């Protein structure tokens, strides 16, 4: 059941989270965009352990940098999952051609990328707590986007 929605990972730096999101994409038929540089070697055994044999079932594209990703995403709306967002992810209206993007686990995304996206969504949390795991956040928001856009 392929979808037009995509999930983008901006310079991921934890291989197990990347593996979990690759597996998520494989199981839900959602392609991934990996925006390099990654903070780990791509053939890291931890990435492979989490992604398991799902790597053979995922459509993903690696982009050598932010600029090549921007060129490739023309015609798609870019929705950033961020703790600096104002719109709760459950009240946002997703489009079938959206690309949902998560930032680096260690630093999120720089301000210029915040400025370049079309929308920013947040997962409301208990005050005083910092953030959820990036793979868990991606799964939650992707699930809502798929619910809204699937026929």
92: in domain:
yes
Evaluate if residue 117 carries a pLDDT over 90: yes
20: in domain:
yes
Q: Which range among 8-17, 41-50, 95-104 shows the weakest confidence by mean pLDDT?
A: 41-50
CATH of residue 54's domain is: 3.40.1280.10
The model's pTM is: 0.91
11 torsion bin: left (phi>0), alpha (psi -120 to 50), beta (else)? left
Q: How many domains does the chain have?
A: 1
24: in domain:
yes
pLDDT in tens, 90-109: 999 999 999 999 999 888 99
1: in domain:
no
Per the structure, the complete domain to which residue 128 belongs is given by: 6-149
* Residue 55 burial (CB count, 10 A): 14
pLDDT in tens, 13-39: 988 898 899 989 999 999 999 999 987
């Amino acid at each position: 059941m392929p979808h037009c929605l995509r999930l983008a990972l901006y310079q991921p730096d934890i291989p197990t989270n990347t593996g979990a999101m690759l597996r998520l994409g494989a199981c839900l038929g959602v392609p991934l965009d990996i925006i390099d540089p990654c903070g780990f070697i791509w053939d890291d055994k931890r990435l492979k352990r989490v992604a398991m044999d799902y790597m053979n079932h995922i459509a993903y594209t690696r982009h050598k940098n932010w600029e090549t990703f921007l060129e490739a995403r023309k015609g798609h709306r870019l929705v950033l999952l961020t703790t600096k967002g104002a719109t709760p992810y459950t009240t946002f209206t997703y489009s079938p051609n959206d690309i949902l993007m998560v930032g680096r686990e260690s630093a999120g995304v720089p301000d210029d990328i915040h400025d370049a996206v079309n929308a920013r969504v947040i997962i409301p949390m208990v005050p005083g707590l910092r953030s959820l795991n990036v793979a868990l956040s991606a799964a939650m928001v992707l699930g809502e986007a798929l619910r809204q856009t699937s026929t």
